[in-house]
Amino acid sequence: MTSADITRTTTPNTAEPLLVLSGVTKRFPGVLALDGVDLDVKAGELHVLFGENGAGKSTLINVIAGTFPPTSGSFRFGGEEMSELTPHEARAIGISPVFQEFSLVPSLTVEENLFLGREKSAAGVLDAGGMRKRARELIGELGFDLYPKARVDSLDRAHQQMAEIAKALLGNVKLLILDEPTASLTERETGRLFELIAKLKTDGVGIIYVSHRMREIRALADRVTVLRDGRHIKTLDAATVTDGELVELMTGRKIDVLFPTIAHDPGETAIEVHDLSTADGLVKGVDFVARAGEITGIAGLVGCGKSELVRAIYGIAPIASGSVALRGKLLDRLDPRTSLRRGVAYFPANRGVEGLALSRPIRENVSMAALDLSRYQRGGVIRRAAERALIGPIMETLKLRPPNIERAVGDLSGGNRQKVMLGRAMARDLDIFLFDEPSVGIDVGAKVEVYEFIKRLVEQGAAVVVVSSELPEVLALSNRLYVMHHGRIAALLEGAAKTEQNVLSSFFEEESREKAA
């Protein structure tokens, strides 16, 4: 990687940190999102922002990126007071944000997206060759497995994330903002990203990094700033702070263990999949069994077919061949409607896209999958009082905050949105639960609640399948763990064999077997 490719100016003045925020307040109607927050980021420093969903991290990085101005407070960047900063100007002076919500145009290609708004051109004519060359170089440098001519909407989330990061690094970067950049990257891609971050730091780039993952904070952070309820709680030296301390500062309470101890009590076979292949070819001849009273995990890299397997079982991904039996009964058709009637629930990984109608209130989203039941309607007429009386307590047990079920789901944070999804499963009687990446995009506090929810389900005798790219999560939760690789089951690990080492080695064995074949 040559530093000429990722161009940046040398830090001019070391007396003042690169970015200095003091007393920054941001008020939305009815909400004080930031309340007098101080933050400074030095050149060459990685500064982690840590806090629960709704703590103000997003608002803060949006203020820094120029999305909206702070209500009050001072914002200095590179020794100059910033006022009326627009996103465009922010980029021009070297503030480059990578948000969780991507800023990519789906119908354009990767390279068109990279150069969007700063195309190379001469007299209004695009320099396509020059841009292609530059895009190739940049992607090569980053070590991303990304084809510059691919349309963004044809890419999966991980590759879109790579495109987004590449876009942020094209140009003159002084301050890079990364909002949970590894949420959908594989271990290898994450490794690449970390190398890149180290390189950027030695080049004097300041980095603001938002993450809930302790391991990343340990590996990368110089300093950590904890936010809670829009207030600056503490800025700490990452080398000396403990995990427990951070979580305690973040939540304002003590959380001893992230993963609950779950008593598995395997009973009858709930799901039996035989020689299943999906129409898109991502699942090839899979045999899979999940039993009542235990958690069956499915681990694997992004794109290995683990999501598609549960989606096929639920009836969203069309199957090409093979069979699915529920409780010993072979199914002749698979679609979400009949799956729900048979007691199967599916929790999609991408809640915004497949899970929730954002413009509709919580109540309607929770009852959406259960309205065919007679306790919600009679003859096609909804029993509104009954609906309210059933949904209210469900969201209460899930600790929805604030506890107003008439709010539009679009106004909720990630943790609350996941609660709406969980509530939907509680709105009807179900006993088979398929979780696709249950903890993506939610904070530690909400994660603990999701795990507790899963624990309750299993201990009441439900069959739970957890698909996850986060290895510690599936290892800790599942009783039996399937490892998938390139659409096939690479291993089934149980008991003492269920270790990170074995999961990783089964990838490599499968890889070498494929190469040999």
Residues that bind another protein (CB under 8 A): 28-31, 33, 54, 58, 314, 316, 335-341, 346, 348, 353-360, 364-365, 368-369, 371-372, 377, 380-382, 384, 402, 408, 411-413, 416, 424
- d(CA 147, CA 129) in angstroms, rounded, equals 15
Shortest distance, CB of residue 29 to another protein, whole angstroms? 6
- d(CA 156, CA 125) in angstroms, rounded, equals 31
Strands (E), 310-408: 319-326, 329-330, 344-347, 377-378, 381-382
Shortest distance, CB of residue 413 to another protein, whole angstroms? 6
Complex with another protein: residue 134 or 311, whichever CB lies closer: 311
Shortest distance, CB of residue 23 to another protein, whole angstroms? 17
Q: Which two tokens stand for residue 248?
A: 């305690």
Shortest distance, CB of residue 32 to another protein, whole angstroms? 10
Shortest distance, CB of residue 320 to another protein, whole angstroms? 20
- d(CA 165, CA 162) in angstroms, rounded, equals 5
Complex with another protein: residue 223 or 424, whichever CB lies closer: 424
Shortest distance, CB of residue 35 to another protein, whole angstroms? 14
Q: Could you give the angle at the alpha carbon of 65 between the alpha carbons of 63 and 71, nearest 5°?
A: 20
Complex with another protein: residue 293 or 315, whichever CB lies closer: 315
Task: Judge contact between 226 and 234, C-beta under 8 A.
Answer: yes
Complex with another protein: residue 402 or 495, whichever CB lies closer: 402
Shortest distance, CB of residue 271 to another protein, whole angstroms? 18
Pure H helices in 127-186: 128-142, 157-169
- d(CA 468, CA 482) in angstroms, rounded, equals 11
Complex with another protein: residue 184 or 365, whichever CB lies closer: 365
Task: Judge contact between 181 and 212, C-beta under 8 A.
Answer: no
Complex with another protein: residue 68 or 194, whichever CB lies closer: 68
Check residue 337 and give left, alpha or beta (phi > 0: left; psi -120 to 50: alpha).
alpha
Round to the nearest angstrom and report the end-to-end CA distance of the chain: 35
Complex with another protein: residue 73 or 293, whichever CB lies closer: 73
Q: Which residues pair with 96 in a beta bridge?
A: 176
Complex with another protein: residue 183 or 370, whichever CB lies closer: 370
Complex with another protein: residue 335 or 514, whichever CB lies closer: 335
Complex with another protein: residue 32 or 504, whichever CB lies closer: 32
Task: Judge contact between 465 and 459, C-beta under 8 A.
Answer: no
Close Cβ partners of 31 (under 8 Å, ≥ 6 residues apart): none
Shortest distance, CB of residue 42 to another protein, whole angstroms? 30
The SS3 assignment for 293 reads coil
Shortest distance, CB of residue 62 to another protein, whole angstroms? 11
Q: Residue 354: how many CB atoms within 10 A of its CB?
A: 13
Shortest distance, CB of residue 153 to another protein, whole angstroms? 14
Q: Which residues of 199-221 are buried (b: 16+ CB within 10 A; e: fewer)?
A: ebbebbbbbbbbbbbbebbeebb
